[in-house]
Each structure stands twice: as C-alpha cells, then as structure tokens.
Chain A
Amino acid sequence: MTLYEKIKQLYPSLTDKDFMTVITLQNDSDGKGDYIKSWEHPTLPRPTDEELA
C-alpha cells in the first residue's frame, strides 16, 4: 500500500484536491520512498509514523 493509499484509508474524507493544495507527498527517486513533504490541512492532523506504519 502506498503512502497516499494509507493516508486515504486513515482519512477517507480527503479529496484529490486536498492532495494538490494542502498536502504534498513527494518521492525524490533516491531510494528513500514516498514521504509527506508538507501537511497544511486546516482540520486534520498530520498522521504519525505509527499510524502510517
């Protein structure tokens, strides 16, 4: 399951627009995988590492 899918599962109310505007996921093609570059959602808290494990 990708990081995007884990976050969507955790917060089903998130929309694709949210991921374009207030949440930025990134992968620098350096072998370290996907990560949350920025989380600026006005109401939902940034998921913890435990929640995304």
Chain B
Amino acid sequence: MASIITATTTSGLTQSADNSGVLQLASGTGNLVTVPSVTGTAMVSGNMPAFSAYMSASQSISSATWTKAQLNTEVFDTNSNFDPTTNYRFTPTVEGYYQINAGIYCSNLTDYDAQGSVAIYKNGSIYHRATLNFGGEGSKFNDFLTAVSGVIYLNGSSDYIELYGRITAVGTPQIVGGTTSDSFMNGCLIRRA
C-alpha cells in the first residue's frame, strides 16, 4: 500500500492516502515512482557526487613500476570528495555504485618493445586494469593512451579509489599530464546502495 499522488488527464492532481509511510507519484498512464525511504535525504540529481581530475604536469616514473598518478587539478568536484593535494584520491561520503573512468597517457618510449597499463585502485589494491602491449620491429610508438572504466561500490566512508599507471620501456617513461585530454580520472554516483 502507499499514499499516491496522481496527475490525471481529467481531474488534475488527485491523491489517496494510507498509513503505510510509502509515497508514490503516478501519471495518468499509470507510471509510478516510489520515493524511497532512506535515512537522510533521498538522492536526486544535484547532490550525487561527481568529480573529474587530471595532472597539471607530466610525471617521470620507473619502468615496470605501478605509480600513483598525481591528479592535482580538479575540473569539478561537486561534493568535495576528491583530494588533489596529498593523496590524489576520491573518497566519497555517499554510499553507492560509482561509474569510474580513467586513462594513463604513456610517453617518452624509446624502444620497440613497450607496455603501458592503467589501473583503478580501490583501497590500495588493483580493482580494474587495462594493458596495451607493443613489440617488434615496425611497432614503435612514442606515446599512447590506455584507458579503463568500471562500476565500483564505495561504502561512503572509508572506501577510496586512486589512479595508477605502469609503463615498461627503456629509459625514463612518463605519465603525461597538462590537460584533461592527457592522464585523467573522473566518475559519479549512478545508484545508491
């Protein structure tokens, strides 16, 4: 049962009420939206955390070493959940399922054999990753971008995510930064838990 507010095609708004504590909205065609019973505020567009960050400068890394990308520049951070100064991590304060997208722009590759990886770390460990391999004569690339995305549950208190990159190549490879089209990470809440 539920208390229902209906937009009809003949009488405008009508309502029926009971003591269930459940509220539903309906249109004349019978479509229903049930307003969820939650502790705190029911999520609507406008207070769902979203962020986007990138590196303001390139970062030299050691070959074959997973290295945290220093995402020190925010494009937006609607709920102030991203740390762009110390840990370069997203720690949302709203529990739920987050769509996360990330890319590592690998550069300064000086050999024919190179491998570039990107990983979204959750709580310090690899959660999602992607790798590109190039090898052999004729396959030399000076730079390329490898990207990964996924839907990740975050508990809204202690869970956090970070961006790591890994390049295996001769010399001193770089994770490229400078603009939003270089190394980046962004994401938003898509569903409450």
Give the interface of A toward B (CB within 8 A).
2-5, 16, 19-20, 24-30, 34, 37
Given contacts A16-B115, A16-B168, A19-B168, whether A27 and B61 have CB atoms under 8 Å apart is yes
Contacts of B61 in A (CB 8 A): 27
Bound complex: CA A16 to CA B59 (Å): 22
A34 lies within 8 A of B68 (CB): no
Contacts of B3 in A (CB 8 A): none
Give the interface of B toward A (CB within 8 A).
59, 61-70, 88, 113, 115, 117, 131, 164, 168
Bound complex: CA A27 to CA B69 (Å): 10
Interchain nearest-CB distance for B72 vs A (Å): 10
B68: which of A4, A24, A27 is its contact (CB, 8 Å)? Answer: A27
The chain B residue sitting closest to A8, CB to CB, is: B64
Bound complex: CA A4 to CA B88 (Å): 24
Bound complex: CA A46 to CA B88 (Å): 30
List the 4 shortest-distance A-B pairs measured between CB atoms, nearest first. Answer: A2-B62, A25-B65, A29-B68, A27-B67
Contacts of A29 in B (CB 8 A): 59, 67-70, 88
A16 lies within 8 A of B65 (CB): no
B66: which of A2, A16, A26, A30 is its contact (CB, 8 Å)? Answer: A26
A16 lies within 8 A of B64 (CB): yes
Given contacts A19-B168, A26-B67, 7 further A-B contacts (CB under 8 A): A4-B65, A16-B115, A20-B64, A20-B131, A25-B64, A27-B66, A34-B62
Bound complex: CA A25 to CA B168 (Å): 11
B65 lies within 8 A of A26 (CB): yes
The chain B residue sitting closest to A36, CB to CB, is: B65
